[in-house]
Structure 1
Amino acid sequence: MIPGPLFLFTVSESLKKDAKVGFKIAFGHIIIEAVLIVFIFFGLKDFLQSPMFIRITSIVGAIALMAMGFILIRKTSKMSLATKEQVNFDYGVITGGAFFSAVSPGFIIWWATIGASLFVQALLSGLIGLIVLALGHWLADIAWHGFISYSVNKGKRYLSDLLYQRIMRLLALGLIAMGIFFLIQFFQMSLASRL
């Protein structure tokens, strides 16, 4: 539920599609989380927390977020709620949910720190503890993205095309800003590791 690229993607897709799109996006997000939980289960927590992994994730995520933001800005003037003229990144919402989770350095850093700690603690209760925590976490993700997509989709009837285009530009700028933030974070981590 970190406000970031996945949230912006959920808002964007909810404006373009139906009120239930958040559930599909959450499913894509859950796929990536399941992979990370398997990593944690098999003892790869140290790998996820390694400075090299975090730096690589930061630079790749930063570039991907900025590229998506620039593509979105370039296409917004053609967007219309009436004609369904949208930006097409050539993937579905489930894949988009997975993609925007995977390229978000904030998501990876959360999982490498807080998430890993939570799930390692859950493992102290055995596999059942891990399953209960995972299901509870995933239900919260589904509820959150479902709520966002429903609210945004039902509220779009109050938008003009001009306001819609402005919102999409703002979301695109948000992606670019997050990309810049993670790029700065990458350079700071790189400099700190050399000292």
Structure 2
Amino acid sequence: KIGGLPVSSLITGIVLTGTNPGFYVWWMTIGIALIVGATDFGLSGILLFAVVHWLCDLAYYEFLSMATFKSRKWWTQKVQRIVFSSCASMLIGFGVWFVYQAFV
């Protein structure tokens, strides 16, 4: 509930996606590059890109849901800290790599 009103998971997902600045940054950088590449194949390339992108999102979120559900018994503060630190390190690594690629 938000403000005492019931909210569906669909509406929650839309609101959280719409307010996530990372969503817009991704589409203005990587997403636009993928779409431009797909246009080389015409309308069918763009449609194929959209379908594959959505299916990859679905598979990714299904995997996360199942992994989260199955890992509840061993998910401790220490494990969480290790996972979050690993993810942060990878994001920093990708950021450095993208900046490097922009100037090479």
TM-score relative to the length of structure 2: 0.60
Aligned counterpart, 2:93: none
**How far apart in 2 are the matches of 1:155 and 1:110?**
29
Aligned counterpart, 1:133: 49
- Give the aligned CA root-mean-square deviation in angstroms: 2.4
Aligned counterpart, 1:146: 62
Aligned counterpart, 2:9: 93
Gaps of 5+ in 1: 1-87, 171-195
Aligned counterpart, 2:23: 107
Once the two structures are aligned, what percentage of the paired residues are identical? 32
Deviation of 1:129 (Å) = 0.2
**How far apart in 2 are the matches of 1:92 and 1:149?**
17
**How far apart in 1 are the matches of 2:7 and 2:45?**
34
TM-score relative to the length of structure 1: 0.34
Q: Which amino acid aligns with 2:52?
A: G
**How far apart in 2 are the matches of 1:96 and 1:153?**
20
**How far apart in 1 are the matches of 2:14 and 2:40?**
28
Gaps of 5+ in 2: 81-104
Q: Which amino acid aligns with 1:124?
A: D
Structure with the greater relative contact order (CA < 8 A, sep ≥ 6): 1 or 2? 1
Aligned counterpart, 1:119: 35
